[in-house]
Amino acid sequence: MNSKQARLSSDDGHVADASARLLEGLIVDGSRGQYRVETTAGSITCTIRGRLRKQLVYPTSRSGRKSVQKVQVREHDPVAVGDRVRLLPTGGGAGVIEEVVARVGGSFTRRDPDDGAGKIRSVAGLDQMVAVFAVREPEPHLRMLDRFLAIAEAQDLSALICMNKVDLGIAPWLAERIAVYRRIGYPVVETSAEENIGVGELRARLAGRTSALLGPSGVGKSSLLNALEPGLSHRVSAVSGSTHKGRHTTTGTRLVPLDGPEGGYIADTAGIRALAVDRTVLSRLDWCFREFRPFLGSCHLSDCTHVHEPQCAVREALRDRLLDRERYDSYCRLRRGDDAATEGWDDFE
């Protein structure tokens, strides 16, 4: 028995090899010390081992715990929806979270108005942000899209662009813009929830991943979810709506499982409003415009902001039409933006 198992035993009074009984699962719901974890043995309601608040255990290999790493205690919950954890079942559908399995993917950080003054909660384990816009009604807001993409890059999330309502016809200017995004490397799915166009492609891109669907209201997010699976929109909003009675309403983000052999989850993003361009984004905003990357490092000044400096490789690339003017303008706006950069995010559901 290694020292960690020994500690588990003495903590708990379990004499058996406790680690052998640990189940692995995904936190799909919860906050304030109560978590719902989906495991192969079903859904288990868990509390969290007190020790975890001081010490997160990150196993370094599949074969066993090679290292026990002390990390700084975060102000907020040490685990978040989307984390994979190991838990000790205590019977009756209950359990105790013992370990956080090393985190993959990015996380959103947002302010939770319900969670006390300025506390930040996060949604871990997201792999994908899906930016949903309509080709018209409402007109697509591409500055918002660029801000969204920059935040996805800063979080190391892959981004998928979904252009819905293609049954209404794609204007030539928009077709050109879509081509620009594809050239930069962002996949664009063209869908119509109404006429069931592109829904299969969207489904395939959601399968096996944990995605957050974001976009202004009216673009068809609910309709798309329902086109993917009947009732899905309700399932996503039922867990998020403040009108949902009979449960402890938290504004914590939850994950809604997708049908299908490959699984996957949709993160309910009702609470994610403060998707702000914060300091972490601003500190490497140029890198968050992925098409700039080949030129970064070639500017005359090492701390070039690519706005006004002489011998700037980014602006030279722009002049040589290797970079897109509109995207560069979005970059400049976000740089200048500060507080204004978060404007418009309240439109997001």
CA dist 110 and 300 (Å) reads: 37
Q: Is 28 helix (H, G, I), strand (E, B) or coil?
A: strand
Integer Cα distance of 330 and 144 in angstroms: 9
Binding partner of 312, given Zn ion, ligand GDP, none, CB within 5-8 angstroms per partner class: Zn ion
- The partner residues of 221 in beta bridges, in order of sequence, read none
Total residues interacting with Zn ion, rule: CB under 5 A: 5
316 binds, among Zn ion, ligand GDP, none (CB under 5 to 8 A by kind): none
When CB distances are held under 5 to 8 angstroms depending on the partner's kind, the choice from ligand GDP, Zn ion, none that residue 314 binds is Zn ion
Residue 176 Cβ, how far from ligand GDP at the closest point, in Å?
A: 21
Residue number with CB closer to ligand GDP (210 or 233): 233
| x/- map, 303-342, Zn ion, by CB under 5 A | -x-x-----x-x----------------------------
Tokens of 312: 């700037």
Helices marked H in the chain: 3-12, 142-154, 172-184, 199-206, 221-228, 232-238, 279-283, 285-288, 313-319, 325-337
What is the smallest separation between the CB atom of 98 and ligand GDP, expressed in angstroms?
Answer: 39
Rounded CA-CA distance 216/345 in Å is 8
Which of the choices ligand GDP, Zn ion, none does residue 222 contact, using the CB cut-off of 5 to 8 A by kind? ligand GDP
Kindly tell me which of 220 and 252 has the beta carbon lying closer to ligand GDP: 220
**Residues contributing to the site for ligand GDP (CB under 6 A):** 164-165, 167-168, 192-194, 215, 217-223
Q: Which stretch binds Zn ion (CB under 5 A): 68-76, 77-85, 149-157, 291-299?
A: 291-299
Q: Which does 304 bind (CB under 5 to 8 A by kind): Zn ion, ligand GDP, none?
A: Zn ion
CB of 228 to ligand GDP, least distance (A): 12
Q: Which is nearer to Zn ion, 79 or 312 (CB)?
A: 312
Among 145, 299, 323, 334, binds Zn ion (CB under 5 A): 299
Instruction: Report the nearest approach of Zn ion to the CB of residue 309 (Å).
Output: 6
Least Cα distance to 38 among 269, 256, 268 occurs for: 256
Q: What is the dihedral of CA 253, 254, 258, 262, to 10 degrees?
A: 90
Q: Is 285 an interacting residue with respect to Zn ion (CB under 5 A)?
A: no
Backbone conformation region of residue 40, classed left if phi is above 0, alpha if psi is from -120 to 50, else beta: alpha
- CA 182 vs. chain centroid, Å, equals 21
Which CA distances in Å does 139 have to 116, 167, 338?
A: 37, 14, 25
Nearer to Zn ion (CB atom), residue 245 or residue 308: 308
Q: Which does 147 bind (CB under 5 to 8 A by kind): Zn ion, ligand GDP, none?
A: none
Q: CB nearer to ligand GDP: give 96 or 225.
A: 225
> At its nearest, how many Å lie between ligand GDP and the CB of residue 341?
23
Q: 166, 198 in Cβ contact below 8 A? A: yes
- Chain centroid to Cα 123, Å, comes to 6
Q: How far is the CB of 286 from Zn ion (least distance, A)?
A: 8
Q: Report cis status (omega within 30 of 0) of the bond before 261.
A: no
Token readout for 16 is 């058996």
Q: Interface residues with Zn ion (CB under 5 A)?
A: 299, 304, 306, 312, 314
